[in-house]
Amino acid sequence: MKGEVLFEEGKKDDRAYIIRKGEVILSRQTHDGWSKQVAVIEAGGIIGEMAMIDNAPHSVTATATEDGEAMILTREDYLGRLQKTDKVLAMMIKTLTKRLRSTY
C-alpha cells in the first residue's frame, strides 16, 4: 500500500522482499535528523536482503511510494535453500554482505 513502511532503519527483520509491482524508496536518517533518499527500487528489485542474510538491523528504511505487490523470502527459507545447495556459497554470501555493510 502507498506509504506503507516495509522495514525501518536500525530494526531487525528476517525477511527480504522481491518487488513484483510498484516502487519502494530506501532512505537513511542523517546526523541532523533528516531523512535522505538513497535509492528507488522498482519491480524486479529485491530489498532487505542484507538484514535477512546476516541477521543484523536494517541500514535503511523502505517505504512504498505506490500500491504494489511483493514476494517475501524469510531467513528460514533462504537458509534452507542454501543448505540444499552449497555451504561454501553460503559462507561467501555472508562474507560479501559483511564487507558491503562496512562500506556504509
Q: What is the pLDDT along the chain (104 residues), one digit of tens a residue?
A: 899 999 999 999 999 999 999 999 999 999 998 999 999 999 999 999 999 999 999 999 999 999 999 999 999 998 888 888 877 888 888 899 889 888 86
Strand partners, 64: 24
pTM: 0.85
Query: What count of other Cβ atoms lies within 10 Å of the Cβ of residue 89?
Result: 10
How many angstroms separate the CA atoms of 67 and 50, rounded? 24
Q: What pLDDT is recorded for position 86?
A: 78
What architecture does CATH give domain 5-102? Sandwich (2.60)
